[in-house]
Amino acid sequence: MIDWTTVVEILAAIGVGAAIGLVTARRIAMTAMPQLVAAFHSLVGLAAVLVGVAAYLNPQAFGISDLVIPLIGQPFAVIHPVSRIELGLGVAIGAITFSGSVIAFLKLNGNMGGKPIMLPGRHVINIALLAGILGLIAYFVTDQSAWIFWTITVLSFVIGFLLIVPIGGADMPVVVSMLNSYSGWAAAAMGFTLHNSAMIITGALVGSSGAILSYIMCRAMNRSFISVIAGGFGQSSDAGGPAAASDRPWKRGSAEDAAFLMSQAEQVIIVPGYGMAVAQAQHVLREMGDKLKAEGVRVKYAIHPVAGRMPGHMNVLLAEANVPYDDVFELEDINSEFAQTDVAFVIGANDVTNPAAKTDKSSPIYGMPVLDVEKAKTVLFIKRSMGGVGYAGVDNDLFYRDNTMMLLADAKKMVEDIVKALD
């Protein structure tokens, strides 16, 4: 028989959640989308923990226990051994996802610094905590005491915090992707507890796809996949180039200079980054590209796998501006073309264009494949000022190259001025 009171409560909860999600998604700025994704991941992890707690406190309601009546004393529910494993893993993964996503949100939102926070002996601490969690889950199979369950939960919250804190800002897109994978596995584990095939299937899909995407991004950044899972693969960002920005010569250009150079070019490669997202310049950038095409210039867009603050950030923005899909190229497909390109137009992409990644072993981004924009005949680089650095906290050697012209202004305003100069 249908319990209509329960049905109404469920539908009401779905309605409230849907309303909150709709309002949040409509109000959030595109530049804050990475923070929103991290926040949603944290909610998935927290939901998994709460479901696990509810199942532990009332296992009979979830059909995961048998009622045992001792000779003396009150009857109690004995959770099935397999369900105890599912509970332990689900709560552990969910707690790691929640606390890790909260730290990622704080870093992406600017509440915490982007530089990695290196704790002494962090790898030993992480391994010890992980071993402790796995050991307690194994012990939980034989003893369902409350202290074991709550210790697993607390330790998992702690290790989630410790895994993300040491990771620097330049690696945050990989972190967001990895947390996406964690949230999927947490949902899948809770699906077993709830005997819900839909949760198991969708959780496994999210978990596996997130893991595959993380692996692909690690290869693109020359990072170890294992080091991502272990946490703390960021390095200190003390290296800031051989000299301070104010002590090194650089050239400044105007919108008119940029318009003239690009109108005379045979090919222009546009490299968008987080600065474009902040300025919301994607629409006027497409307008600039269309004007150049009308003058016979070949226009292409080069996307680095970790440009922005989350996987696919730049692809989403360019698609929103209706940039033709055939004009957008990934790093490995377009890097060889910069040497034959007249103008590389960089709009807010800092770390992913920094040549120091190939030459400076002390740099925190050393070894990360970058776009070879410095090989173009002329580089036009839009930046608000010469004082700032990229999210990795290092200065960009590209600013001081002989073939680089700095366009210092708000990205959207500068592109609008270039479009006017092209008329």
Catalytic residue numbers read 351
Asked if residues 353 and 324 have their Cβ atoms less than 8 Å apart, the reply is no
Q: Give CA angle at 411 (406, 412), nearest 5°.
A: 145
Nearest-angstrom CA–CA distance, 166 and 233: 7
For 415, the token pair is: 């592109």
For 266, the token pair is: 């045979």
Residue closest to 354 by CA, chosen among 302, 325, 392: 392
Nearest-angstrom CA–CA distance, 422 and 112: 42
Query: CB count, 10 Å around CB of 86?
Result: 22
Asked if residues 92 and 133 have their Cβ atoms less than 8 Å apart, the reply is yes
Residue closest to 97 by CA, chosen among 33, 149, 48, 34: 48
First-last CA distance in the chain: 72
CA distances from 42 to 19, 106, 157, 193, 367 (A): 19, 12, 11, 20, 31
